[in-house]
């Protein structure tokens, strides 16, 4: 059994704070400071450029990728790190689209994160494709014989609704299409199994449930059957077959290495590597069970004590990731009032109070405090103060 009390102790959680926004930015692992100091003091400062070989900086993207692979149902040598999630989305969708040149449609849903849709819009314009966007519950019916790529975020960033990856991938394959899954709200939160779902491509960020720090690098996975055939439009020198030959003509590296683009962010990858230490010994089945336990308890508590809010997430835990949303007409002000009292969730327009439950460090006490604080704020209408309505910024 996973020792969640021990994993909680591995994070810096400020005293007096109940942190339910790890689906935006995970807290700092205690090991991150020492690891960052080491790469600065012992590697960069002393080794200078020789650190690429002596300290293993050059192979970091694959080594760290292998550690993430276990958390998403992938195998060794199938995941590589680097760049931002938007770049990885572009790489994956462009590679999948190129493998279906006789088809024009890229299908996504209106619950997808806007940045993914922006990337797909630009790509569709560049390659004469069509981005087709439907409601989340209409995706299954929209998969047809003209589909080239199904591009979905597994867990909806606003509602927490979870797509059935295996079923939708199977239907896409029957139609002759390929799939690209964004795991931004899945990796580290739910029991992802890319291999079991027979997915084609997947991408994800590492600063949410994987706790890699602000702007930590993204990852990309390609199913082994596509690894030596996929050719994304965005090609960089680190994805070249022989990057240090400085050949003016691009030749893709073998396998997942071709999905590298620019120089890897060594310091950020080092901190992420420290964050991944926490995952040693964590079973994904235990992770999922813990997530369901916390979110179910939170929903029950809020619905019992807070009649002024409405559930905005699927009630069935099988259809939900590790976050819960409730709607309130003054959602922004309510969330600001919560944050002022040390319960940190976030707000999504127009009226959603969003709470992310990270199984590694959230516990039953967090649930109880969040429910009690929300109930008191709503009962006393303490959210109805001028400072809580000033939307200069939104968390």
Q: How do beta strands 201-204 and 219-222 pair?
A: antiparallel
**Cα distances (angstroms) measured from residue 134 to each of 106, 146, 167:** 11, 15, 17
> Based on the domain organization, do 58 and 112 belong to the same domain?
yes
> Based on the domain organization, do 15 and 101 belong to the same domain?
no
> Based on the domain organization, do 325 and 251 belong to the same domain?
no
Q: What is the percent of the chain where pLDDT is above 70?
A: 99
Q: What is the percent of the chain where pLDDT is above 90?
A: 96
Q: Is residue 394 part of a domain?
A: no
* Average pLDDT, integer, range 97-119: 97
* Average pLDDT, integer, range 93-105: 97
Burial of residue 128 (CB within 10 Å: 0-12, 13-18, 19+) is exposed
Q: Catalytic annotation on 354?
A: yes
Q: Choose the weakest-confidence range: 223-232, 296-305, 383-392.
A: 383-392
Q: Read off the pLDDT of residues 128-155 as tens digits, 9 standing for 90 and up.
A: 999 999 999 999 999 999 999 999 999 9
> Based on the domain organization, do 8 and 88 belong to the same domain?
no
* Average pLDDT, integer, range 346-363: 97
Q: Catalytic annotation on 63?
A: no
Q: Which of 67, 97, 103, 208 does the annotation list as catalytic?
A: 208
Q: Among 249, 279, 309, which residue terminates a domain?
A: 279
Residue 392 pLDDT level (bands cut at 50, 70, 90): low
Q: Nearest-CA neighbor of 80 among 250, 232, 288?
A: 232
The SS3 assignment for 392 reads coil
> Based on the domain organization, do 272 and 297 belong to the same domain?
no
> Based on the domain organization, do 231 and 327 belong to the same domain?
no
* Average pLDDT, integer, range 301-326: 98
> Based on the domain organization, do 150 and 230 belong to the same domain?
yes
Please tell me the predicted confidence (pLDDT) of residue 143: 98
Q: Is residue 258 part of a domain?
A: yes
* Average pLDDT, integer, range 250-273: 97
Q: Is residue 321 part of a domain?
A: yes
Please tell me the predicted confidence (pLDDT) of residue 389: 85
Q: Which of 201, 207, 298, 388 does the annotation list as catalytic?
A: 207
> Based on the domain organization, do 314 and 234 belong to the same domain?
no
Q: Which of 83, 116, 182, 346 does the annotation list as catalytic?
A: 182
Q: Spell out where the chain has E strands.
A: 18-19, 79-81, 105-109, 130-134, 147-153, 178-182, 201-204, 219-222, 310-311, 323-327, 343-344, 346-348, 352-356
- Residue count of the chain, please give it: 395
Q: Among 244, 261, 279, which residue terminates a domain?
A: 279
Q: Is residue 158 part of a domain?
A: yes
Judged against a pLDDT cut of 80, whether residue 257 lies above it is answered with: yes
Q: Read off the pLDDT of residues 165-191 as tens digits, 9 standing for 90 and up.
A: 999 999 999 999 999 999 999 999 999
Judged against a pLDDT cut of 60, whether residue 394 lies above it is answered with: no
Q: Read off the pLDDT of residues 41-65 as tens digits, 9 standing for 90 and up.
A: 999 999 999 999 999 999 999 999 9
> Based on the domain organization, do 271 and 289 belong to the same domain?
no
Q: What is the CA radius of gyration of the chain?
A: 22
Q: Read off the pLDDT of residues 368-384 as tens digits, 9 standing for 90 and up.
A: 999 999 999 999 998 88
Q: Catalytic annotation on 182?
A: yes
Q: Which of 113, 157, 332, 361 does the annotation list as catalytic?
A: 113
For tokens 């021990």, the residue is: 6
Q: Catalytic annotation on 207?
A: yes
Q: How do beta strands 178-182 and 147-153 pair?
A: parallel
Residue 359 pLDDT level (bands cut at 50, 70, 90): very high
Domain total of the chain: 2
Residue 385 pLDDT level (bands cut at 50, 70, 90): confident
> Based on the domain organization, do 195 and 325 belong to the same domain?
no
Q: Is residue 395 part of a domain?
A: no
Q: Which of 354, 355, 366, 388 does the annotation list as catalytic?
A: 354
Q: Among 259, 279, 299, which residue terminates a domain?
A: 279
> Based on the domain organization, do 237 and 340 belong to the same domain?
no
Range of the domain at 348: 4-28+283-389
Residue 95's φ and ψ, nearest 5 degrees, are: -65, -45
Q: Is residue 61 part of a domain?
A: yes
Judged against a pLDDT cut of 60, whether residue 395 lies above it is answered with: no
* Average pLDDT, integer, range 189-214: 98
Taking each helix axis from N to C terminus, what angle separates 60-69 and 266-276, rounded to the nearest 10 degrees?
A: 30
Please tell me the predicted confidence (pLDDT) of residue 384: 86
Q: Catalytic annotation on 246?
A: no
> Based on the domain organization, do 204 and 108 belong to the same domain?
yes
Whichever domain contains 182, its CATH number is: 3.40.640.10
Whichever domain contains 17, its CATH number is: 3.90.1150.10
């Amino acid at each position: 059994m996973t020792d969640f009390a021990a994993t909680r102790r591995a994070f810096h959680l400020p005293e007096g704070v109940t942190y339910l926004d790890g689906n935006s930015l995970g807290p700092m692992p205690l090991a991150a400071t020492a690891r960052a100091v080491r790469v600065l003091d012992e590697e960069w400062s002393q080794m200078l450029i020789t650190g690429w070989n002596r300290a293993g900086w050059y192979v970091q993207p694959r080594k760290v990728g292998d550690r993430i692979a276990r958390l998403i149902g992938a195998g060794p040598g199938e995941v590589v790190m680097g760049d931002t999630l938007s770049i990885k989305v572009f790489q994956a969708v462009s590679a999948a689209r190129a493998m279906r040149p006789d088809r024009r449609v890229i299908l996504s849903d209106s619950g997808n994160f806007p940045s993914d849709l922006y990337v797909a819009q630009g790509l569709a314009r560049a390659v004469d494709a069509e981005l087709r966007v439907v409601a989340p519950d209409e995706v299954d019916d929209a998969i047809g014989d003209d589909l080239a790529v199904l591009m979905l975020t597994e867990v909806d960033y606003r509602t927490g609704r979870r797509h059935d990856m295996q079923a939708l991938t199977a239907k896409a394959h029957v139609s002759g299409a390929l799939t690209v899954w964004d795991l931004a709200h899945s990796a580290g939160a739910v029991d992802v199994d890319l291999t079991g779902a027979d997915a084609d491509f997947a991408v994800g960020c590492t600063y949410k449930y994987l706790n890699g720090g602000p702007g930590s690098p993204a990852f990309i996975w390609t199913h082994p059957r596509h690894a030596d055939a996929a050719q994304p439009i965005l090609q960089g020198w680190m994805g070249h077959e022989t990057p240090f030959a400085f050949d003016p003509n691009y030749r893709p590296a073998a396998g997942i290495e071709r999905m590298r683009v620019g120089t890897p962010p060594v310091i950020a990858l080092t901190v992420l590597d420290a964050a991944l230490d926490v995952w040693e010994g964590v079973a994904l089945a235990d992770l999922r069970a813990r997530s369901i336990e916390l979110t179910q308890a939170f929903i029950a508590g809020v619905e019992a004590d807070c009649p002024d809010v409405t559930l905005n997430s699927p009630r069935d835990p099988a259809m939900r990731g590790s976050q819960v949303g409730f709607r309130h007409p003054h959602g922004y002000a309510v969330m600001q009032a919560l944050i002022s009292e040390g319960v940190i969730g976030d707000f999504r327009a127009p009226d959603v109070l969003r709470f992310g439950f990270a199984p590694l460090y959230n516990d039953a006490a967090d649930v109880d405090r969040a429910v009690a604080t929300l109930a008191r704020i709503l009962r006393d209408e303490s959210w109805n103060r001028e400072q809580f309505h000033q939307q200069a910024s939104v968390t």
